[in-house]
Amino acid sequence: MLSIFDGLRDITTLSTTIRMLIAVILGGAIGMERSYKNRPAGFRTHILVCVGACIASMTGIYLYLNMHLPTDISRMGAQIVSGLGFIGGGTIIVINNKKIKGLTTAAGLWACGIIGLAIGAGFYEGAILGTALILITETLFAYLGSKISHNSAFQILLQYNEKNALNIVMRYCKDKRMVISNLAATGKRDDVMSVYSVILTVRPREKVDHDRIADHINEIPGVTSVEILT
């Protein structure tokens, strides 16, 4: 541990003030990055989470060391860790094509709360290093992550009049290493026969040609029409 922080590890008025200020600085540093990217939880939210966690951590220590109460000094911190899940859950939304957005912000809020707990406990070195690593993860690693190629999910709008046609289409998707993540089926009847309509949401594991997939499915007996929705 760094000796420069040794005088600030006890719960005193000076150390309490400094811990609060450090919580504001470190929480604000993480929040500024989120605000810059226009995320739902930004500058003020991260500061509040970090400061609140810092107060909770110091309160547990104060009750045990100063008030001499028979309490577990880690109990309040444990409640903060679990309680932050509710705040983080509010930043997670599902957008078009069932893509999930806000997971990084939610994880950042949770990590920001942990940093606040570390500050309140006097573990300044871990809090500062953790903040630096979080900022690196949210900036540099975000750029590196965008360079990783991935295959986006798409939907197959299928209409058929033979029930076995759907099984053949699903087998075809499996053979082409495409995972079916959702299936929504509806039925309709015209004047001649029953026509079934299905929307398959699939995620390919490798690059695929949508036109070739549509052409192949069109040739399956019983399929009346097929459309690829991206």
| Per-residue pLDDT tens digits for 198-210 | 888 888 888 888 8
Domain that holds residue 63: 3-146
Question: Closest Cα to residue 123, out of 230, 6, 215?
Answer: 6
Tell me if 109 sits within 8 A of 41, measured CB to CB. Answer: yes
Residue 229 tokens, joined: 């929705």
Q: Are residues 212 and 103 in the same domain?
A: no
Q: Is the same domain home to 139 and 162?
A: no
In CATH, what number is assigned to the domain containing residue 205?
Answer: 3.30.70.260
Residues 192 and 120 in one domain: no
Predicted pLDDT at 21: 94
Q: In the structure, what pLDDT confidence band is assigned to residue 162 with cuts at 50, 70 and 90? A: confident
Residues 28 and 140 in one domain: yes
Residue 118's pLDDT band (cuts 50, 70, 90): very high
Q: In the predicted model, what is the mean pLDDT of residues 14-36? A: 90
Task: Give the whole-number percent of the chain exceeding pLDDT 90.
Answer: 19
Same domain, 19 and 111: yes
The mean of the pLDDT values for the chain is 83
Query: Could you say which of 103, 122, 146 is where a domain stops?
Result: 146
Same domain membership, residue 208 and residue 111: no
pLDDT for the residue 48? 92
Are 93 and 136 in a shared domain?
Answer: yes
Task: Please check whether residues 169 and 191 belong to one and the same domain.
Answer: yes
Residues 140 and 164 in one domain: no
Q: How many domains does the chain have?
A: 2
Local confidence band at 119 (pLDDT 50, 70, 90 cut-offs): very high
Please give the Cα distance from 208 to 152 (Å, whole number): 10
Identify the domain boundary among 146, 173, 190.
146
The domain boundary, picked from 112, 146, 180, lies at: 146
Q: Are residues 142 and 160 in the same domain?
A: no
Asked if residue 86 and residue 50 are part of one domain, the reply reads yes
Cα distance between residue 196 and residue 160, in whole Å: 5
21 and 97 both lie in a single domain: yes
